[in-house]
Every structure is written in C-alpha cells, then in structure tokens.
Amino acid sequence: MAAARKRSPKSLGEILGELTRSLGIEDRMMQGRVVDTWYEILSEPIRAQVEKAWVKGDRLFVRVKSPAWRQEIHLRRAEWLRRLNEELGRDVIREIVVR
C-alpha cells in the first residue's frame, strides 16, 4: 500500500484565489476591489462629488461633478494613489486620471 502523502491544508483565501484564476475572473474582481477601496479612502464630502470611478488596466479613472472638485482631487491624487495601493496590499494602480 502506498504511503499517504501529507499536504498542508490550504487556506480559504488560497482556494478562492485559485478558483478566480481558473475561472478567469481575478482581474475583474480586483477592479471591483479597487473601486470599493477608492470610495472607502475618500472623505464623505469628496466622495459625494465623484460621479463614477472605474479601472482600465493599471489606471483608475474618476469622473467628478465640477471643475473645482476635479482640481482638488487632481492635487491630492498622489496621496490617494499611495493610500489606495497600501490598502490593496500591493501596487495595483499606477495612475489616477481625473475627468
């Protein structure tokens, strides 16, 4: 009789990671996580001025309601880029584009 192989059990996170990769939805899920995290790091007054946020490749696009808020977000985007990638645990987004 062959000896049973001993394997370390996988964590739920590892199993879900393998599943999302095998289904080809890992990128899509990360895009959703990026957008959710973006809204979480913004203060309420600024969050209220964002009409839409979406990810394309390694860039986060943000559409805002007014030129004044566009300027405010544009000036603080480096700070938010750092915080966003910090929250995500790795450098997922390279640039924030404000429109």
Q: Domain with 65 in it: what CATH number?
A: 3.30.300
Is 62 contained in some domain? yes
Identify the H or E element spanning 81: helix 67-88
pLDDT in single tens digits along all 99 residues of the chain? 555 667 888 888 788 778 767 766 777 888 999 999 999 999 999 999 999 999 999 999 999 999 999 999 999 999 999 999 999 999 999 999 999
Q: What is the DSSP string of 11-75?
A: PHHHHHHHHHHHHT-HHHHHHHHHHHHHHHHS-HHHHTTEEEEEEETTEEEEEESSHHHHHHHHH
Domain of residue 50: give its range.
Answer: 27-98
Is 88 contained in some domain? yes
pTM of the predicted protein model: 0.77
Residue 80 in tokens: 């938010």
Please give the single-letter amino acid code of residue 77: R
Is 84 contained in some domain? yes
Is 76 contained in some domain? yes
Domain count, the chain: 1
Is 82 contained in some domain? yes
Is 1 contained in some domain? no
